[in-house]
Structure 1
Amino acid sequence: MTAPPEASGRTSEAVGKAIDSTRRLGEQTYFYGHALLSTADAVRRYPGEVLRLIATMGMGTGALAVIGGTVVIVGFLTLTTGALIAVQGYNTLSNVGIEALTGFLGAFLNVRFIAPATAGVALAATIGAGATAQLGAMRINEEIDALEVMGIRAITYLASTRIVAGVLAVVPIYTVAVLMSFLATRFGTTIIYGQSRGVYDHYFSTFLHPSDLGWSFAEALAMAAAVMAVHTYYGYTATGGPAGVGEAVGRAVRTSITAGVFILLTITLSVYGQSGNFHLSG
């Protein structure tokens, strides 16, 4: 007894989708591996391009450079999240009479969760989206094909250089981000709510571990590498004209934010999953 034509058609469609998904996954895996393994070659062959990209990612170009580029955008975002910690933390703790521990929240939440997550989203929406749009425009204008015709290894020149530049540029960017989150929490707690600076600084310095800062920077660097790898892939493989580039940017932002949150969760669970590196004592 043969299956109905409708069932056979649905089965063929499902098999075709599975094959396409597997093929795309293989293409992405190859691209990410090639781009990451070629980073050393990119630094050796194209140092000028790497430096140019670092300057562009950090300060921006055109109208974006007027306001300070990615540094100011990321700093402003973490400034607002740090202020929210001051508002919510102080009010919540004051309900049970322990508002003095707001400094503990500033040292604990900013470094481990808030600043890395905010910076990851900001990187995806700024330098990541910009990289996708640039490479997508080059693809639809056949500039990438021209590079390959000239014998230039396109993935190394376009993707690997951007991954290196993104990882290097995120160091000062994330430094500003963490400082702005610290300053916002301290300002809101001591100036707006009137808590003693000595009390806030005591609990802040007590619970701020240097190792936590190191792991926080490691999370930022890992997320920056993932963001740039994802965005360069979607820009490099963009199709369908200007509308296709817009779709590629949207898909890249969605994928990179998901990857960044997964990286943050993985590192946080790996480092703090057992003891948490946290001891509350009098």
Structure 2
Amino acid sequence: MNISEGSALRRIVDRPRSGLRVVGEQVDFYIKAYAGIPAVLSRYLGEVLRQLTNISFGTGALVLIGGSVVVVSILTASAGAIVGLQGYEALNAVGTDALTGFLASYINIRLAAPLIGGVALVSTIGAAFTAEIGAQRISEEIDAIEVMAVPSVPYLVTTRILAGTIASIPLYALALIACFATTQLIVVLGYGQSVGTYNHYFSTFLVPTDVLISVLQVTLIAFVVMSIHAFYGFTASGGPAGVGAAVGRAVRLSLIAVMVTALVTAVLLYADPESLHLSR
């Protein structure tokens, strides 16, 4: 066996080992971050509140457009518009266009809004967290914090995970309203369906527990997304280019995590026929 063949074989063998090492590093990081929650609640609540303000309303120029609130609402509103357009056309083809309100209350709350809301969290809050923490890492601010005897993981990571998770609840509530409102505008104003017909089927098939389940689902997605982005930001290296690469890896893994989390929770909650209720 020559040197090139040996190097190729070594790369093949080392690839799964490297993947397992990264998984182990992530698990160890998450354990440390979650273990710091009591310390954050007792000592760093001010930092959590500051992060909440930055997330919700943005900083600098982002304040003018409302920060993440407007971005998440626009993305979920676009999903609601698609449900209204495609749903009405599909039902109208078989003469049941009156049931578009049912699609709005069923598909939006169980599928469209949670998925698009999770993607919106990845592209706004999550990516910002990775960039912020990564910039602090390459500029040695994290090292300076540790030199001052301040635990860097609870102060920088756990506070952001908690803030992002908490902020996801009101953000998603506003986004859900935007999603519902857009679907209704498309159907009522665009296609001319009567408001009474739409609201009748919408309110009949909207199960209140589904709204609560949807909020909890997005909260879980936010918790996972914030954890992933914090890890890649905290372990960034290689200067500004390394931070950019870390943001890309975090977004890629977070999008996969959003899909998997949404799938698993949907299967657990809605796969059993006995637990599937179309109306109240």
Q: Distance in 2 between matches of 1:176 and 1:271?
A: 23
Q: Distance in 2 between matches of 1:51 and 1:279?
A: 39
Q: Distance in 2 between matches of 1:200 and 1:37?
A: 48
Partner in structure 2 of residue 254 of structure 1: 252
Task: Compute the displacement of 1:8 (Å).
Answer: 3.1
Q: Distance in 1 between matches of 2:278 and 2:41?
A: 43
Q: Distance in 2 between matches of 1:113 and 1:40?
A: 34
Partner in structure 1 of residue 178 of structure 2: 180
Task: Compute the displacement of 1:28 (Å).
Answer: 0.6
Q: Is 1:165 equivalent to 2:163 in the alignment?
A: yes
1:212 pairs, out of 207, 210, 213, with: 210
Partner in structure 1 of residue 135 of structure 2: 137
Instruction: Count how many residue pairs are aligned between Structure 1 and Structure 2.
Output: 279
Q: Distance in 2 between matches of 1:158 and 1:47?
A: 12
Q: TM-score, normalised by structure 2?
A: 0.96
Equivalence map 1:175-254=2 (5 Å):
175-254=173-252
Superimposed CA distance per residue, residues 87-138 of structure 1 (whole angstroms, 9 cap, x where no aligned partner):
1111110000000000000000110010111111111111111110100110
**Contact 1:79 1:184 survives alignment (8 Å):** yes
Superimposed CA distance per residue, residues 224-252 of structure 1 (whole angstroms, 9 cap, x where no aligned partner):
11111001100000001000001111111
Superimposed CA distance per residue, residues 169-211 of structure 1 (whole angstroms, 9 cap, x where no aligned partner):
1111000000001101111111111111111111111111011
Q: Distance in 2 between matches of 1:84 and 1:23?
A: 42
Task: Compute the displacement of 1:6 (Å).
Answer: 4.3
Partner in structure 2 of residue 107 of structure 1: 105
- Matched residue type, 1:113: L
**Contact 2:207 2:278 survives alignment (8 Å):** no
Change in 2 beyond 3 A, CA 1:222/1:194: same
**Contact 1:39 1:163 survives alignment (8 Å):** no
Task: Compute the displacement of 1:40 (Å).
Answer: 2.8
More deviation, 184-193/33-42: 33-42
Q: Secondary structure at the match of 2:231?
A: helix
Partner in structure 2 of residue 98 of structure 1: 96
- Matched residue type, 1:219: Q
Change in 2 beyond 3 A, CA 1:138/1:168: same
Q: Distance in 1 between matches of 2:89 and 2:216?
A: 32
- Matched residue type, 1:124: V
Q: Distance in 2 between matches of 1:279 and 1:240?
A: 53
RMSD: 1.5
Task: Compute the displacement of 1:278 (Å).
Answer: 3.4
Q: Distance in 2 between matches of 1:51 and 1:45?
A: 12
**Contact 2:44 2:159 survives alignment (8 Å):** yes
Partner in structure 1 of residue 263 of structure 2: 265
Q: Distance in 1 between matches of 2:150 and 2:80?
A: 45
Q: Is 1:30 equivalent to 2:21 in the alignment?
A: no
Superimposed CA distance per residue, residues 243-267 of structure 1 (whole angstroms, 9 cap, x where no aligned partner):
0001111111111111011100000
Partner in structure 2 of residue 21 of structure 1: 19
Task: Compute the displacement of 1:4 (Å).
Answer: 5.2
Q: Distance in 1 between matches of 2:83 and 2:13?
A: 49
- Matched residue type, 1:243: A
**Contact 1:59 1:65 survives alignment (8 Å):** yes
Partner in structure 2 of residue 74 of structure 1: 72
Q: Secondary structure at the match of 2:149?
A: coil
- Matched residue type, 2:152: A
Superimposed CA distance per residue, residues 30-78 of structure 1 (whole angstroms, 9 cap, x where no aligned partner):
1112212322321211010000000000111111111001001111111
Partner in structure 1 of residue 47 of structure 2: 49
Q: TM-score, normalised by structure 1?
A: 0.95
- Matched residue type, 2:180: F
Q: Distance in 2 between matches of 1:254 and 1:13?
A: 23
Change in 2 beyond 3 A, CA 1:5/1:229: same
